[in-house]
Structure formats: C-alpha cells, structure tokens
Structure 1
Amino acid sequence: MTVHFPFQNTYAALPAGFFARVAPTPVVAPRLIKLNRPLAIHLGLDPDRLSSPEGTEILAGKRVPDGADPIAMAYAGHQFGHFVPQLGDGRAILLGEVIDADGVRRDIQLKGSGPTPFSRRGDGRAALGPVLREYVVSEAMAAMGIPTTRSLAAVMTGESVMRETVLPGAVLTRVASSHIRVGTFQYFAARGDTEGVRQLADHVISRHYPQAAQAERPYHALLQGVIARQAELIARWLLVGFIHGVMNTDNSSISGETIDYGPCAFLDQYDPATVFSSIDEQGRYAYANQPRIALWNLTRLAECLLPLFSSDQDKAISEAQTLLADFAETFDAAYQAGLRAKLGLFTARDGDAALAQDLLGAMAQNQADFTLTFRRLGEAALDAAQDSEVRALFTDPAAYDEWAVRWRQRLGEEPQDATRRRNAMRSVNPAFIPRNHRVEAVIQAAMNRDDFAPFEELLTVLSKPYDDQPAFAAYAEPPLPDQRVLQTFCGT
C-alpha cells in the first residue's frame, strides 16, 4: 500500500535564494496521534493510507514521499519590533503543494521535523504540548469560519526534546494556502534585492491575488488586497476573543490566514488589555492592540514594495500611505458589522457602535465572560426572562440591566421576529471555544498519562462551536478560579 501525494512544487521552482533544500530528519519510533480524516479527503489524500505505518512515517518526517521537494523557506521579520534580517523555517519543512477539492492550492508542511540551515542553533524539533495546542486551536478557528492554517496530523516521534525540562517530541502536519509572510518580503528588501521582491510579489499575485494581475498597477492592487484581508481577519479575531500572542511580521500571512499558533489564547473575562504570552512582557500584542499591530506589520510590507511602486521614492511612499489608510476603514466596517450581528441587529444605525462599546465597557468593569455574555444574549433576545442568565455574569448585575433597556429599545426598531434574531445570533456567537484551561488539561493528560481521550473529546466539541451540545455543556463554562491559565508559552 503506497501513500500518494499529488504534489506540485511551485515555490520550490523559484530561485534558490528563496529557500534551502533540506530533508526532514528521521525519527526513531513515529506513532500517529491524530489524523484529520475529513481534511485529508478534502486534500485528495487517502486517509486509510495516511494512517498506515508508511503514512505515519511520512507524517513524522521519517520517510519522504514521492514527488516531494522538501524545502525550508527563507524569511526575515520584526520580532517585538526589532528587525532580524534572517529567520526562516528553523523547524519546519515544506513537502510540497496539492490542489484541494475546491481547486485551491495548499501547502503541506511538517512542523518539528528537524534542523534546517535557518535553525540558529535550535534543535528543529517540536514538543508534544505546542503541537496539540496548535492542532486544537487551528481546527477550532476553522470550525468558527475564521481563515486559518489547518492541522492534518499530529505524530509522536518516540524521541525527547529539551526545553526547560525533557519533553516528548512530536510533529505537526500543517496545511496552509501558503506559508508566505510579510517577513518573506522583508528578507529580500533588507538585502536590497528588488528583483527578489518582484519575483515574490509576482508569485503571490499568481497564487493569492490573481485579480491584481489585471489591475493597472498590479503591485498596488497586491498591497490593497493584503490590507483588506488582514483587516477583516483581525476583526474576526476580536469578535471571538482571540489573542494571537506573537504578531511578529514573520507570523503575518500574506494570504490573510491565521498562522503560527504559539502562545495563543482566548479571553475568558473581557479585558481589552489582556495578555497571555509569557514573552510579551510589555503587552505589545495585547487583545486590543492587535488592529494597531496589524497595520504596523502591513506598513513594513508596504516599505518592501516601494521600489515596485515607483522609482520616485516620495511618490511611492505617498501611494503606499494612501493604500494603508484604507486599513482603518476596512477593519472598522468588518468589526462594527460583526458586533451588530453579535447583538442581533440586522441593520446599521447611528448609535450602534456606542451601544456595543458600552456593553463591552460594562463587561470589562464587571468581569463578565466574553463568550458566554454574547451567547446568552441570544436567548435573552428571544425571551426577556433569560436576562437573568446574562446579568448573572456581571459582578454588578445592574450594569447589565441599564444597558439592556437601551438594547431592547434598539431591537424594537427592527421588524425581524425574536426567533429569527436568536437564530442569527447563535450563528455568530459560539457556545464553545478552546478555553485555555481546557487546552492545558488536554496537554497535561497527554504528557503525563499518555491519555489522548481528552484531546479527542475537545476536538469533537469544538467541531460544532455554534451548536448546543448538552452532553458537553461543561465545556462552555469558564474556568474556576483555581483553573485559570494566566500565561501561555511559545513552543521553541
């Protein structure tokens, strides 16, 4: 039984300076933890063959499949605002690309597959905990309809990795529209390689923004497209309470997908200043800072593209600034539309933004759970008797009562019936998110007891985030005080 990947390798066909050819490092005893069978089928792969011993060896990097052209991609990046001219895939290897059932080209990459020329003295490996975290959170994001990389498989290597302590090693098979980042452009721009920037931009246009090729100014259209996708993506993050944790330019995807789930986390109590990442000591990437940082990252991309805009630098800068100015409007439109939907409003009216912000302000002052507040509002929209379930989330329930009077007044200005409104709200306000204490419990069960049943159950719950699942109702609850996770950690 042979595992077949119908690989294409368009990125590997670019000039040699774009990557380093390197094979995964074989591991001792690969063991399949999880195969995402629906995703495998969507990618045109045979899940039964992928879960065979041969398939497991491929997913662990022990065997290179026919047609693969393994490469580690080169890129640079601003890390917490400080520029590093060479980063690159230090522990990830791109095997190749496949065309999925929707006709979309997808990268298949092994993360944790051994050292590469970009490892910078690192071991190139991944520990089990971060692999499980990325699998859970990326698949939860996909189920919520948020653009994201996907997880095809998780494999234990049979080897240990050394971090603060000795940990079991693992490999994640990651699927992405591509792994091209803002930092990929920075890699060539920092070297003064304008032709490299042009070749990369042409590749990105062909792969992600084909309409830009028909524009009068294709590179302007490229930047415009990336700005729009990033603005909409960050709005969607905020609307579900997601905090990326490390929004460096090398973690900012050109395709508009969420990529590189390190110390990511979701809000429990609403507080816009929330930071979970242990390495974000200054709060640069706090929840509410994410739109500002996204624009900062996009400005770095614009700087890379300036030579393609015009030989007159002042003219190029002016044109880039005009395009970047669209970010705020695009983000605000997406965010405000999302908030209206979360509140059960079908039309836009003056005062809606203030109504939403006043609720968020009351939530912050009263330690209300972000996810549960909006989910329970849907029931309150159907039946005012359910207000008690929302107000119970506030330390001072009167704060909710005062706001709810205005909310009901606003609902009364629209003709939709209560059932339609409740159903619409349920479709945008998840009941289940990968709460940090649940993810941590999954990791500890796997690491300490080799028990993956909690991992499987959490994935089952998160696959239907907008459905009521009475059998799993406990997964919707916020953590008890002694269960709260205050810090999350990067995997390197």
Structure 2
Amino acid sequence: MPDAPNELPSLPLQRARFLTLGKSFYSEVTPAPLSKSYRILLNEPLAKSLLIPDSLISSEKAIAELTGDRISATQTPVATVYSGHQFGVWAGQLGDGRAMLLGELRDNDGLQQEIQLKGAGETPYSRRADGRAVLRSSIREYLCSEAMHGLGIHTTRALHLSGSKQYAMREQPETTAIVTRVAPSFIRFGHFEHFYYQGRIDELKQLTDFVLQQYYPHCLSEENPYAELLGEVAIRTARLVAQWQASGFMHGVLNTDNMSVLGLTLDYGPFGFMEAFNHDHICNHSDHQGRYSYRNQPAIGQWNVFAFGQTLVPLINSVETTEQALDNYKSAFEQHWQQLCCAKFGLETVQENDANLFNEFFQLMQDHRADFTLSFRTLSHLKIEKTADDDELFALFSGAQALPDWLQRYRERCQRENRNDSERNAAMLAANPKYILRNYLAQIAIEKAQQDDFSEIDRLHRILQQPFAEQPESEIYASLPPDWAGDLCVSCSS
C-alpha cells in the first residue's frame, strides 16, 4: 500500500546489484523481526553520509526498516550462498546463515553501499541454527567495526543496533539483537570457492565478471582482467593485514569465507586488540592450534589469497600467470608494513638497519609484555633530549635493562631525519592511537547493556571515532586493563 500523503517516505533503498546475478547465487528470504525490538544505537555520521534525512532516520518507520520489521514493495531481501575453508579445512557449502541483504543506498560520494541485517532470523543456509545474533556479540561488532573505521582501517560499517528481550540459546540463554551493516559489497572469497569446487565454471565466470564490472572496472582494459583482479585483491588483502598488525588487531577467524574480495575487515567475531604484547597471542578461545594468532596473520592472509587464486585458474587460463599475480601479496605486505612502521616510529626515510631497530622494539615489548598501544603512544611523546617521558616509557617496560641502549640508538636514528621534536611527535601521535576497543571496555559496555543501560556503548562509540585525539576527559579509557580483564576469553559462539 502506498504511503499516505502525510506519512514519511521509506528509506531510499534500491534493489541490490547482486540480485542481477540470478538465483543460483542467493535465496530470497523474509526477515523474522525480533519481539518488541528497540533502538540501542544509531550511527548518525554514517546515516548522514548515506543521505538519510534527519527527520526520517529518527522515525519509528526508519527503525522498522533498518531492523527488517518493515519491508517495502521495492525490496527483495536475500541471503547469499558461498562455501569456504574453515581453520584450513574445506567446509563445503556455508552461506549467509544469519545475514540478509536488504538493498543499497547511495552515499554522499555517489557510491552504492549494500545494507545488510545480521541476526534477523533463519535462512536456507543457517545449518540448523536459529539465524539470531546475541546482544553481546552484536555490541562487539558494532563498536569494533566503527573503531576500525576510526583507525583508518578498511572495514564494513555499522549503521544501526537494535535489541530485544527475545532470547536465543547459546552456552546459556541470551538476549538478541540485530546489527545493520554497511559495505560496498559483502562478497567473500568463499563465493568464488563455492562455484569453483562444484565445477560450475560458467557461474564462476559470471560472478567474477560482475566483480570486475562493479568494483574493479579499471582491470577490464588489461590483457588478462582475471589475473589483474587477482593481483589487486592480493595487494588489498596484504595492505589490510599489514594495517591489522600495525594496530595490534587480531581477527580471530580468518577463514576464507570471512575474507572480503574488496579488502575489507569482515565479520567481527572473537577479535581482539593486543594488550600485553605476545607474538603468539590467540584471541579466539576456539582456536586451539593457534592458527589465527597475531604472528600467523600475515601468512594466513597469504594462504587465503592463494585459495582465492586457485578459483580463478580456469579463468586466468595459466598457472604461471596466476602465480605471478599471487606474488603481489608478499611484496605488498612487506612494503606496506615498512611504511606503517616508519610512521609509527616517526621516520620519514628508510635507512639501513631500520628493520632491526623496529624488530628490537617489538622484542622488548615481547620480553616485558609491554602494552602494545601504550608503548607506541608513549614513544610518540619522546624528545631527542631525555625528559620525564622516558620515565613513562620505562614504567611500561619494567626491568628492561636493554631499553636505554635501544633508546640511545633510536634517538641517534631520529637525528638523521629533517624533523624536529614537535614535527616528529605530531606525526607519531597521528599514527599511534591512544584509544582502542580493549576487551574489558567492551565487556563493561555489554554488562551495562544487559541491564538496559546503553550509555556506555554510546560513550565508547564517540571515543573510538577519534582514537588519535587526546580527549583528556576520557583519559581513563586509555589506561592499562585491570587485573580481572586477564580472565576474559572470546569464542566463535554468538
């Protein structure tokens, strides 16, 4: 039924371009609204960038549309099918088990952005699960995707978070929620694996051509567009993983079905930001072998790109050309990691032995379990001449006898740059965040939300939008984690 003249218009959702691929690639679904759902948080800056009028976004109608309670006649919600390798083992068909693509909105740059619900009920790919997302994991995804955006790391975004007193059974009964997610595309490596491993090469080509036309059109003019696509995906993925490493972020479940073909951070499950530094830290309680540890992320990113590359061999039509495209990963990672390290250490040029200087600092953090974020943030205040800032750094590296020698060599290295203290400090402070989403901060917000107090979610969201700013009124959020935080663990269950 059309809207009455005095009724607000619907969100300007357009039919998703993904649907042009045909029904081999998705199943039409109907969202199952949560019982008596309510808004917890709206990402107002993102809503504005999607050109949603203030008068509409604050309305009950918009809330209904952003949670799947109301589907307009122009919408066709779908769940997409994909397969994948999970923990290095072929898992076969997977698919959007609790995600539904609603449509697309055009942002203020003229780009189409997909709008997806997570937690809106069962789909044909739910595999005997309920298709719901619990409040706990939904809060973590909302906050972390926006924290990553604040850090300048490519990611899906979170537009809206709604909750309900409706329960879902996990290790224990938990209240449920729906996250409304935004990305140019949610296409994963697993979408390509699905058709490749079934020998459905025509559909594989159709999907690949779609991705080329919609997201990599510049590749179409190359001699071998499919090889060019693979090379670009390898570079984007390598740069993304380098960004993760430089921020101390650990994804936790780097399965091929969680890898974006656009190089976005996708699917926030048992993630974590490094605190007391440990190369072998595992943020996922379910990762018993440590496959997705901090140290392993770069190699796993490469493994996943190789898995993606395998699917394109029939289209590239040359193993040698495929391997050449895959070589982009290693060189891109090394180059971007070096650039990021130079920025974190305040260096404009690359000189001999810089890598050794960087590695020695990481080893000092390893030996003394120094806090990753605070170590670099404190180093960002260091002056060429010794000041009280040295004492703050020494406090983080308790008993580090090798630190004075490292600091002397670091200062000598900084003196070989054309930067004074204030210029170097400003550049480092812009590269080393003060605020990250520490597990204990998320846990406090979750526990308050479970008591219907959502103020801490909103406060964290605002702080994490500007992670490099001093924000003196929020100083406590940059503190070392309390002792009880060491007992927190996160698993895949959500």
TM-score class normalised by the smaller sequence: over 0.9
CA deviation profile, 1:143-191 (whole Å, cap 9, x unmatched)? 1110000000000134111111111110000001211000000010011
SS in structure 2 of the partner of residue 148 of structure 1: coil
Equivalent residue number for residue 369 of structure 2: 367
Deviation at 1:28, TM superposition (A): 2.0
Change (3 A) 1:405 1:485: same
- Quick one: which of 181, 189, 193 aligns to 2:188? 181
Q: Partner of 2:253 in structure 1?
A: 246
What CA distance in whole angstroms lies between the structure 2 residues aligned with 1:11 and 1:365?
49
Listed one character per residue, the Cα deviations across residues 418-466 of structure 1 (whole Å, up to 9, x for unaligned) are 111000000010000001110111111111x111111111111111100
1:47, distance to aligned residue in structure 2 (A): 4.0
Between the aligned partners of 2:264 and 2:384, the Cα distance in structure 1 is 35
Q: Which residue of 2 aligns with 1:346?
A: 348
CA distances 1:178-215 after superposition (whole Å, capped 9, x unpaired)? 11000000010011011111111111112221111111
Task: Give matches, 1:29-428, under 5 Å.
Answer: 29-310=36-317, 316-381=318-383, 384-385=386-387, 386-428=389-431
Asked whether the equivalents of residues 59 and 171 of structure 1 are also in contact (C-alpha less than 8 Å), the reply is no
1:332–1:420 distance in 2 versus 1, CA, 3 Å: same
**Match in the other structure for 1:432:** 435
1:381 deviates by 3.4
- Per the alignment, residue 4 of structure 2 pairs with none
How large is the RMSD of aligned CA atoms in angstroms?
A: 1.2
* Alignment CA distance shift 1:112-1:47 (3 Å): farther
Structure 1, unaligned stretches of length 5 or more?
A: 311-315
Aligned mates of 1:6, 1:368 — CA distance in 2: 47
Q: Find the counterpart in structure 1 of residue 465 from structure 2.
A: 463
Match of 1:313 in 2: none
CA contact (8 A) 1:5 1:65 kept: no
- Which segment drifts farther, 36-45 or 422-431? 36-45
Cα offset, 1:384, TM superposition: 2.8
Letter in 1 for 2:142: Y
Distance across 2 between alignment mates of 1:50 and 1:87:
34
Amino acid at match of 2:328: D
After TM superposition, the structure 1 stretch with the greater mean CA deviation from structure 2, 478-487 or 417-426, is: 478-487
Cα deviation for residue 131 of structure 1 reads 0.6
Partner SS state of residue 287, structure 1: coil
What TM-score do the two structures reach when normalised by structure 1? 0.97
Contact 2:384 2:411 in 1 (8 A): no
3-state SS of the aligned residue for 2:382? helix
How many angstroms apart in 1 are the aligned matches of 2:59 and 2:424?
Answer: 47
Match for 1:39: what amino acid?
Answer: L
Structure 2 unmatched ranges of 5 or more: 1-7
User: How far is the alpha carbon of 1:484 from its aligned partner?
Assistant: 2.4
> 2:439 touches 2:485 (CA, 8 Å); kept in 1?
no
Query: Quick check: 1:111–1:171 contact (8 Å CA) kept in 2?
Result: yes
Secondary structure at the aligned position of 2:473 is classed as: helix
Separation in structure 1 between the aligned mates of residue 239 and residue 72 of structure 2, nearest angstrom: 37
Query: d(CA) in 2 for partners of 1:4 and 1:358?
Result: 53
Distance, in Å, in 2 between the alignment partners of 1:332 and 1:486 is 33
Per the normalisation by structure 2, the TM-score is: 0.96
SS in 1 for 2:278: coil
CA contact (8 A) 2:157 2:181 kept: yes
Q: 1:484 aligns with which of 483, 486, 492?
A: 486
What do the CA deviations read for 1:217-260 (whole angstroms, capped 9, x no partner)? 10001001100100000000000000000000000000110000
Q: Distance in 2 between matches of 1:75 and 1:39?
A: 28
Q: Specify the code of the residue in structure 2 equivalent to 1:403.
A: W
Q: CA deviation at 1:326?
A: 2.0
User: What's the secondary structure of 2:408's corresponding residue?
Assistant: helix
Q: Are 2:11 and 2:65, in contact at CA under 8 Å, matched by a contact in 1?
A: no
Structure 1 CA distance for aligned equivalents of residues 424 and 74 of structure 2? 51
CA contact (8 A) 1:32 1:51 kept: no
- Contact 1:219–1:309 (CA under 8 A) maintained in structure 2: yes
Do the aligned partners of residues 70 and 245 (structure 1) sit closer, same or farther apart at CA in structure 2, a change above 3 Å counting? same
> Does structure 2 retain, via aligned residues, the 8 Å contact 1:60–1:156?
no
Superposed CA deviations along residues 356-380 of structure 1, whole A, max 9, x for unmatched, are 0010001100111100011111111
1:60 positional shift: 2.0
